[in-house]
Chain A
Amino acid sequence: MKRFAYDFERPLVQLETKLEEMKKLESAEKEDIAADICYLEEQIQKLRMRTYSKLTAWQKVQLARHPNRPKMVDYIEAIFTDFIELHGDRAFKDDSSITGGFARLDDEKVMILGHQKGRNTKENIAWNFGMPNPEGYRKAIRIMRLADKFGLPLITFVDTPGAHPGIGAEERGQAVAIAESIMELSGLKVPVIVSVIGEGGSGGALAIGFGDRIIMLENSYYSVITPEGCASILWDGAVSAERAAEVLGLTADKLLELGIIDTIVKEPLGGAHHAPALVARNLKKEIVSALDELKAAGQESLADKRYEKLRSIGHYAEHLKALTK
């Protein structure tokens, strides 16, 4: 069976396939190749380190988009219990590229909300590849208001290439739907904890993508524009998305350095899909500890603190540099 692999992973996958074949031979007891297998395993381990320990920004973008990467639906199952999904924007339709509802985080009652990317083609078509239309954001606003009304902490999951670009989306106010979602999020009195689990694509991600804590998985990305979009605008397509990914500063470690996000959750070598249960466990730990901290801080000041946090993001200078020292 052929495994999905990006170009940079191919040499590794070739070796791994070879190893599988050798193991089959050995188990059929056709040849005594234990020493060879041992050697190959060592080589694979080394190559895996070389392939994944120093990923470029573009390689991380690729892993963030990996078809086998755990999706929100996986994290709902792994982290929460008793999920009750809510539907619809009460105006036009139910946009399933955004999902949300009541859930329990251990004993804590919370509201969850996130972009739904599919685990296969069928789900992806049904969920529009995690690209919401305006009604998706209007559903998000409903869910935020419910969370606020009933005092439930809001836990969001970000995983979208961006808001859906389409005629209907523009007719129904994609821009204002996102803007209103952002505005609603900014003023919630309940704790808001954001986890970027895959793609954080532009305004479509930001609509549910900032809060009191922003956690990012190590190989997820969060960007003002997709690397492809940036490459086509700034370089007229002359330069690859690879170069654009590098200059956009969209990786978790860069965003931590810039003070945009708060925490990074490590992933196993090769990405979250190599050990989904472990990643979910570690992500849950971060969410729980963030929630404990925020609850201890007291609800009254949360919106103010969130405002101050947003207020502090911006690198600019106000005075011209003095000509002489």
Chain B
Amino acid sequence: MPIGDWFKKEQKDDTQSAAKRAVPDGVWEKCPGCNEALFIKELERNHMVCSKCDYHFPISAQMRIEDLTDHGSFEELWVEMHSEDPLHFIGVKAYTLSLDKAKKTTGLKDAAVCGRALIDGRSVALGVLDFKFIGGSMGAVVGEKITRIIELATEEKVPVITVSSSGGARMQEGMISLMQMAKTSAAVARHSAAGLPYISVLANPTTGGVTASFATLADIIIAEPKALIGFAGPRVIEQTIKQKLPKDFQTAEFNLQHGQIDMIVDRANMKRVISRLIDYIGS
């Protein structure tokens, strides 16, 4: 590649990231779904959902909690829990550096935020994954916090609600991550055996070890519109079967059609629907 091209590419990236950086104090945000320029104030009022094409922008765990729970009711637990890099994992860069970076950008210690909350005055135990923290992936901390919130719900006899957006098990913690699938699932089994309700919300994207454990073991599974939900990633499937994938493959709509989820609910209606469900299945 000629040096000139390389420079051009760099420049282009710079302007892009500069545009992105400008967004928080800017007025407009471009929708990745339909390319429409959206007025940020309005976008925020609309729970970060595009009013033109219904594209659901990824949102932070914090924003989700505000969206779903009664104002000021969320009481976060195990705030300081963090990873200890058990394998001393070094990929392109050290795992500890990825962790530090994720902590800085999200203000979180790991990808799960868990705690007690109220939904329309009713007590629930809530666990939310933040995709911005290493792809919302589940290592020892996420596994432990999700397990604890389910155990707490069992003990306090309240419903569990999880909101997932995750690439799956966290590679950087190897088999310790994989075993978190068993740990969280075992906790769900006990919560369920106690006759308590579990509602799982799947946001874009939820794949791999999270869909293959606690996130699909709920009594009711709700997805956000157009969210990518599946076990294997589309790229892996395409490479394996050497066929083009159907257009809506692994979307929430595809999953609903194939009987894998109960319903698709818009972000703006999510709290209301969960509240109505708890009305039926909560104690």
Contact B183 A310 (CB under 8 A): yes
7 nearest CB pairs, A to B: A165-B232, A175-B211, A186-B186, A315-B86, A314-B140, A175-B231, A174-B231
Contact A310 B182 (CB under 8 A): yes
Among A18-26, A71-79, A218-226, A288-296, the one that faces the other chain is: A218-226
Decide if B92 is an interface residue (CB 8 Å cutoff). Answer: yes
Complex contacts, B84 vs chain A, CB 8 Å = 315-317
Pick the residue among A169, A202, A306, A320 that contacts B178 (CB under 8 A). Answer: A202
Decide if B83 is an interface residue (CB 8 Å cutoff). Answer: yes
Task: Considering the complex, give the chain A residue whose CB is closest to the CB of B175.
Answer: A260
Contacts A170-B237, A235-B92 hold; do A223 and B185 have CB atoms under 8 A apart? no
Among A115-123, A149-157, A247-255, the one that faces the other chain is: A247-255
Contact A260 B231 (CB under 8 A): no
Among A36-44, A177-185, A263-271, the one that faces the other chain is: A177-185
Decide if B177 is an interface residue (CB 8 Å cutoff). Answer: yes
CA distance A170 to B229 in the complex (A): 9
CA distance A187 to B189 in the complex (A): 7
Contact B81 A318 (CB under 8 A): yes
Task: Considering the complex, give the chain B residue whose CB is closest to the CB of A174.
Answer: B231
Size of interface on A: residues with Cβ below 8 Å to B = 53
- 0/1 interface trace, chain B 150-181, chain A, CB 8 Å (1 if under): 00000000000000000001110111111111
Residues on A lying within 8 angstroms of B by beta carbon are 163, 165-167, 169-176, 178-180, 182-183, 185-187, 202-203, 206-207, 210, 222-225, 229-230, 233-235, 247-250, 255, 258, 260, 306-307, 310-311, 313-320
Q: Can you report 7 A-B residue pairs in the complex whose CB atoms are below 8 A from each other?
A: A175-B260, A183-B186, A224-B209, A225-B171, A234-B171, A315-B83, A319-B80
CA distance A223 to B173 in the complex (A): 10
CA distance A181 to B238 in the complex (A): 26
CA distance A182 to B216 in the complex (A): 12
Complex contacts, A179 vs chain B, CB 8 Å = 181, 185, 211-217
Residue among A258, A307, A316 with max Cβ neighbours from chain B (10 Å): A316
Name B178-198 residues within 8 Å CB distance of A: 178-183, 185-186, 188-190, 193
Name B117-160 residues within 8 Å CB distance of A: 140-141, 143-144, 147
Contact A170 B250 (CB under 8 A): yes
Complex contacts, A167 vs chain B, CB 8 Å = 237, 241, 243, 245-246, 249
Contacts A165-B240, A315-B84, A319-B80 hold; do A206 and B186 have CB atoms under 8 A apart? no
